[in-house]
Amino acid sequence: MAKPPEPIDEVLPGAAAAVLAEVSRVITQDPQQPPSGDPNATSTPHPAARQVVELKVSKVLFGSLAKAGATVQVIKPAGAYALRAGNKGPFVLGGKDVEILGRFGPDTWPEALVVQAAARHGKS
C-alpha cells in the first residue's frame, strides 16, 4: 500500500523556501536499481533514483532561494517518484543542500495549502 504524503506542518519547519516552478531539465540522475523479483509485479520495492534538476521559478511562495523568472538547481532525493522536464507545481525546498521536500514531488500539496502553512509557521 502506498504511503500518504507527510502532513505539510511536519515538513514546513525544515523548509527554506517554496516556489511555483517547472522542471526545465534533468541535469543528472543516479543509476536506477534494476527491477527484481516477480516479472508480473505491478510495483517495485525500489525508490526512483536521486536526480539533480533545474527548476524555472514562476512565483516565490516564501523564502529567498530564488526569484521569479530565475532558474535554480535542486536535488530530488531517491523516493517514490521521478521528475521529467515539464513537471510543474509547488516545490517545497530545504535541507543542507537544496532538496525537494515531500514524498511525491510538485503535486504533494496544492499552492493554497503551502501558503496557509507558511503563514502558520511564520515563513515569508
20-24, 54-58, 97-101, 104-108: range with lowest mean pLDDT: 104-108
Query: For residue 103, what pLDDT is reported?
Result: 78
The owner of cell 525508490 is 47
pLDDT for 50 beyond 60: yes
Residue 77 confidence (pLDDT): 92
The whole-model pTM stands at: 0.86
Radius of gyration of the chain (CA): 15
Band of pLDDT at residue 80, cut at 50, 70 and 90: confident
**Is pLDDT of 19 > 90?**
yes
Q: Is 33 contained in some domain?
A: no
What's the helix, strand, coil split of the chain in %, to 5? 15, 35, 50
Residue 43 has pLDDT above 60, yes or no: no
Q: Do the domain assignments include residue 115?
A: no
Comparing 81 with 57, the larger pLDDT belongs to: 57
Beta carbons within 8 Å of 98's beta carbon, 6+ residues apart = 16, 65, 72, 73, 74, 75
Domain annotation covers residue 70: yes
Domains in the chain: how many in total? 1
Mean pLDDT estimate for the chain:
88
Write out the residue range of the structural domain in which residue 23 sits. 16-28+47-83
Domain presence at residue 58: yes
| Residue 23: inside a domain | yes
